[in-house]
Structure 1
């Protein structure tokens, strides 16, 4: 028990800690976001105090004259940066968002019919808000006890509903009694509808219009009332005993097609506020009972009714809808608007066959308290149906408002409902009498419009109670309303000084109205200072003066901006060894202009080839190109075999020994692959010597003459610079192999073969001896273990043998 309590306390502590940390992080993120916003990036084409405070809710404006001229700092920036650059608080325009509750009556239950319940708290608030700012406040709802309910029963009285009318008349008192159990402050009304009395909705024959039974003979055996569009049978009243009487007295009628004119009836019930008797502070309920579908806008054209429904009340003295034959049916949008305007709640009690149709209708009416239920064939379940659907509607709270995007205002909602977790929602369910639900409402001003003051209404659907938000959007600066200097000298007497800057008059534009635009606007002049439509003015590196860019100065006097749009500079070029253009050129609009003798993107390449000369005096050994002081060996042809710093390495190239060998063989020994003509073309003449010279600059070679198999030696000296060579060959020294000893080789091979044969024969003899010995031992063992009668040899076999024919002597079938 104690451990469980400790775990619960620990869980609560962790939850609270995480919540606090999350809130702190969100607040810190919001502050950081405001702090990091670049207010000074306000576009110059709309550089005013009003535009500054509308740019972001963290932006402020300095209205002091000459502020920008003194420190080259923009007037639109954060308050901290403006103060840092010398703008006093008396010159800073920074309107603050604020809120004030102006009416906050406590929540109260319904006591008597005359008293008003209070279900929303507070009731009114005043908000001053800047564009791009947000304001949060709480709205609490509590469902009051015995809250007034006005229920109007709207019934289809076509012939197919005759059983339902009879049952409803019987259950009228039960309905009133059941609703009084829910609330003591209850009123009840009754109305009926058929359809428009014109073809193709109703039979044009007057005789057939009053005939509710059509047998095979053309004589009517059952008469009914003439059809009508809608009739208010009983306005809302506390005398609920009249309900059964009025339902009983209502006459059944008939029409031609299946859909009915229910939309006309709903529109009149909601529009005729005084006739029906709707109370302002009451939950308005309309029970719509039918077994068929409905006509809607456009269907009236089938009868030539092209005038749209005007959504107004048109009931005569007897309660009939008198514009049924003049106007079309209402549209879904008109119906939705009227339901929201009247704050009504609809219960569609329909036959099972029409259930899906009315579910679609319910879904087509967003932000409206409505429900759909199946009505029994004779409406016997109407009392339970109304009670259940009323509880569903009354226990579901949907907060709605009249804010829209065109006003630049946006409302969002969060609530815990009856739980512990805050969620983004404006709907709470299962709210019973006495339950309190708090919604956290966030008001955001997205942008400014011409209108500055708004009255927003927030409240639950189906109720007239609303919470009013009187909103004033602060889109203007106080300095623009006062301290205006007309035709100021600071503006060259060509404009007014407003909030520290010039508002030029006539065709004059510019910072001090110094430019005569000749009919061009300031925006048009600024456009001349843009390289592209998306580019900033003067690339953000200068100011536009009368359509021409004046580039800003740099702290380093050697660094400068240049170009028509200040797009160039002399310090943003490629570097080498931390030097711009390697110190061998000048920076010109992002590109290096190299001095004589230097090249490359960063002027880091010398044009001299001294560092690329190889030992033979050739550039890159004749097998590459000198680029930027380094050899780059060629990758095509014979040159592709060379590599190394100076393209002097060739692993696959033949050596001089191989190259000179044919010439040495033909000249000295008259052997080899060369004939006399080819030998005469050799680039050198061999020098026969008795001893080959030995030095560091000579190379020794040797080869084998295929004619006699002897090895010969020679040395050569090659001077690449002089392009000459000297070859010495040893005239006496050669190494020849001795004669082959044929007889010893033959005798040795023969002796080896004989010796191998003797060894194999001895090995076979040894294996045979071992096998025979093992077999004899096995025989001796079997003989020693044998047991038989000594009088008869077990291996003896008689000389005569008897055989029996297996088929002989068998009985034939």
Structure 2
């Protein structure tokens, strides 16, 4: 019997392993156990629930499903208690090892576990990752060879050997390959003029979609030579066929030469059965597994699914390999570009690590693309690719030094991770970085199945936990305990408890007597299946439909039929939503909402009897708070940058009032995201900056132009000011919790310079100064003349000669007097 049950939320619980019994304190929102009517539903409802299958157990006023301590108190003997526990069987647990000439490295342990898992009862295991020495690396370089990448190709040809030398310092098992691409060979991507199809630009080769120039090899000289020989081509539009090239490089495993783990068949002639090589797993250890790295280098945008319609290509990309005898993509003209999700799926499936080596102008778009691709990284490429060696080294160290666990768990299976890789504090994160060769990190993995599937075929689940970008994995085979042994025909009797008895007289011939209780046939119910679904109301049953003697029948939310409450809908217009519970006392639709959904939606929690019962990983009144602190992890590995506390999955920057932002990394002197958003604001608001209109429309939709922005930082946003090409200042704000940017529609420019006024002013100033100097000179001359005239007048008035005589007349006689005798 398979029952679909929800998960309950507990205030506090204590697990007592006494003979496998689980005890606990009172549950918030009522006892979920007593609502279950079968043994299978009981053990799946919650880890604290138990079922008493004892025949003589008195269940007249209570059910057979209850807290274990209650069942014991009510007289159920231990041997009749059904309280299953997890049963773990470690199938494969090979210890970590480095690779050698015969065996692949093992970095993840254990590798395979089988668990009989009880729903709503967490199961915890430890998963260890150890970074192996000399782990094999396959690096396939996919390069855009349109004309704008000419200098990049020349530089790569020079640096090819240096790439191998530097990577061999990291791992001795390194191989290098090379592929190139342009775009689809049709309009509007390339010119279809015959002469242009042969030579799209001076000295250029004919255009093509993708070409595998050199499969993976250890010969660095051969790589250098193939890069040097690869001709440049040309196309018309700015975006390139990057996605086509990436898909072929990933899908064509044999042509590219990716090293894959193989299983070989060993058949020995014998009179008995035979084994497959690999059944010994770690003992055989067939090679070769490697870290697959796909390096994509371009200076332009990319085409994606739907763009093919421009060239009349509407057939979706099938994601398969289509390399012909010339090592070119034969389906480039017949299949559309891959979609982002399609490409991301194949990258995850094939465990490929993608590095985008992109010029500065394309960084924003490829950064957003990398967020959609598992394990992808973006590095800024110099205009001539001169930094490609350092870029490969840096990004490889980031990739190899970080282990991030992912899972393919299906709905109904919750998995949470914890680790101490960032220090002594145990964090709710699924990754650990800055690992060195030989370093180990242990993750605590908690698995909880929240409900039993309706389809019995889904009782066995295969869950995979794997490190991003690596082929290693832990296979968890879950066998869900959604039924009890006493419900199965092969049950061995315990005391007077017998195997299931269909149409038993104890069930009025209308049900199966099993586990000490009746499982009624369709349209029958009641403790002994005494009630028919068509039975009319009867006052004899009213007492059993009341919680207390003074309660209303079915709490006023239903009707009593044959001693059982049939609950009515909450709303007449929506009969699918009804009251629930034995007495229709529960409203499963009266819980708090979060993000527009009750209890945050099915992935966060379920509403039971007016209260949210949160799933593993969430808490809060409306299951609005994630218990993981991963969203609060700053880039430096500290929770909230060490400047705040992680509360409800969000940082509250309380330790330093100057720090703000999602992870408390933004401060007045911090660069923040002002520079990253500047170009989009220029393009979207003013039509300036480095981006084209087409690029802006495709990549800057997060910018919204508003009449005015607040000229100060707010708790949820930061103000940015920058200067445009016309020396005008413009303002915009970005939000810490999302990508939204608000840009002020008008710039603030300095007053324009009035050249005429300045010229006239200068001329007027010169004239004024000249006139002033003339006036001063005239004043000084006038003052001097007046002083001379006054002196003349004074001398004239003091003259003693007779004005009647001629002053120049001299008499003919002269008289001289000797001064010696002047007084005698």
Give TM class, smaller chain. Answer: 0.5 to 0.7
Q: Is the 8 A contact 2:535 2:562 kept in 1?
A: no
Aligned to 1:492: 508
How far off its partner does 1:223 sit? 3.5
Q: In structure 2, do the counterparts of structure 1 residues 427 and 549 end up closer, same or farther at CA, with 3 Å as the change threshold?
A: closer
2:443 to 439, 445, 464: 439
Matched, 1:111 2:118: no
The 3 A distance-change label for structure 1 pair 508 and 423 is closer
Distance in 1, matches of 2:449 and 2:301, equals 44
Residues 209 and 295 (structure 1), Cα distance of their counterparts in 2 relative to 1, 3 Å cut: same
In the other structure, the counterpart of 2:475 is 468
* 1:61/1:93 contact within 8 Å kept: yes
Match of 1:61 in 2: 51
Determine which of 488, 494, 504 is the counterpart of 1:481: 488
Are 2:401 and 1:395 equivalent residues in the alignment? yes
In structure 2, the partner of 1:430 is 434
**Alpha-carbon distance in structure 2 between the residues aligned to 1:529 and 1:92:** 28
Aligned equivalent of 1:195, options 183, 190, 197: 183
Matches within 5 A, 1:752-771: none
Q: CA deviation at 1:45?
A: 7.8
Corresponding residue to 1:459 among 466, 471, 482: 466
Contact preservation (8 Å) 1:63, 1:499:
yes
Deviations 1:480-508 (A, max 9, x none): 11301122110122222122222233543
Q: 2:397 aligned with 1:385, yes or no?
A: no
Structure 1 counterpart of 2:314, from 306, 315, 320: 306
Tell me the equivalent position of 1:252.
Answer: 232
Distance 1:267 1:33, change over 3 A: farther
Q: 1:386 to 1:181 in 2, by over 3 A?
A: same
Instruction: Name the CA shift for 1:416/1:520 in 2 (closer, same or farther; >3 Å).
Output: farther
C-alpha displacement of 1:234: 1.4
How many angstroms apart in 2 are the aligned matches of 1:530 and 1:188? 77
Structure 1 residue aligned with 2:420: 416
Is the Cα contact below 8 Å between 2:98 and 2:105 reproduced in 1?
Answer: yes
Which of 1 and 2 has greater Rg? 1
CA drift of 1:28 comes to: 4.6
| Counterpart mapping for 1:121-132 below 5 A | 121-132=109-120
Q: For the residues of structure 2 that align with 1:487 and 1:344, how far apart are their CA atoms? A: 58
Match of 2:346 in 1: 338
Q: Cα distance, 1:247 vs. partner?
A: 1.2
Structure 2: runs of 5 or more not aligned:
1-10, 261-288, 490-498, 567-582, 586-824
Structure 1, unaligned stretches of length 5 or more? 1-24, 214-221, 551-564, 568-813
Output the CA distance in 2 between the equivalents of 1:126 and 1:458. 13
Match of 1:210? Answer: 198
Distance in 1 separating the partners of 2:356 and 2:565: 71
Q: How does 1:179-578 map to 2 (within 5 A)?
A: 179-213=167-201, 222-280=202-260, 281-365=289-373, 368-404=374-410, 406=411, 408-449=412-453, 450=455, 451-482=458-489, 483-505=499-521, 507-518=523-534, 538-539=554-555, 546=562
1:537/1:254 CA distance change after superposition, 3 Å: farther
Displacement of 1:141 in angstroms is: 1.0
The verdict on how the C-alpha distance between 1:353 and 1:512 changes in structure 2, with shifts beyond 3 A counting, is same
1:209–1:255 CA contact under 8 A, matched in 2: no
Q: Distance in 2 between matches of 1:377 and 1:347?
A: 17
Q: Deviation at 1:157?
A: 0.8
Higher helix share: 1
Q: Greater shift after overlay, 313-322 or 80-89?
A: 80-89
Aligned to 1:797: none
Q: Cα gap change, 1:476/1:362 in structure 2, threshold over 3 Å: closer, same or farther?
A: same
Deviation at 1:549, TM superposition (A): 7.4
| CA deviation after TM superposition for structure 1 residue 66, in Å | 5.2
Query: 1:329: how far off?
Result: 1.0
Q: How many residues align?
A: 509
Q: For residue 145 of structure 1, what is the aligned residue in structure 2?
A: 133
Partner Cα separation in structure 1 for residue 421 and residue 237 of structure 2: 47
| Cα distance change of structure 1 residues 89 and 520 upon mapping to structure 2, 3 Å threshold | farther
1:234 and 1:536 map into 2 onto residues whose CA distance is 82
Superimposed CA distance per residue, residues 411-454 of structure 1 (whole angstroms, 9 cap, x where no aligned partner): 11111115221111112111111111111111111111131122
Distance 1:547 1:435, change over 3 A: same
TM-aligned CA deviation for residue 385 of structure 1: 1.5
Compute the TM-score of the two structures, normalised by the length of structure 1: 0.58
**Structure 2 counterpart of 1:134, from 122, 140, 146:** 122
Quick one: structure 1 residues 338 and 541, their matched pair in 2 at CA, closer, same or farther if it must change by over 3 Å? closer
- Counterpart mapping for 1:674-693 below 5 A: none
Query: Using the alignment, how far apart are the partners of 1:480 and 1:272 within structure 2?
Result: 51
2:68, 2:33 → 1: CA distance? 19
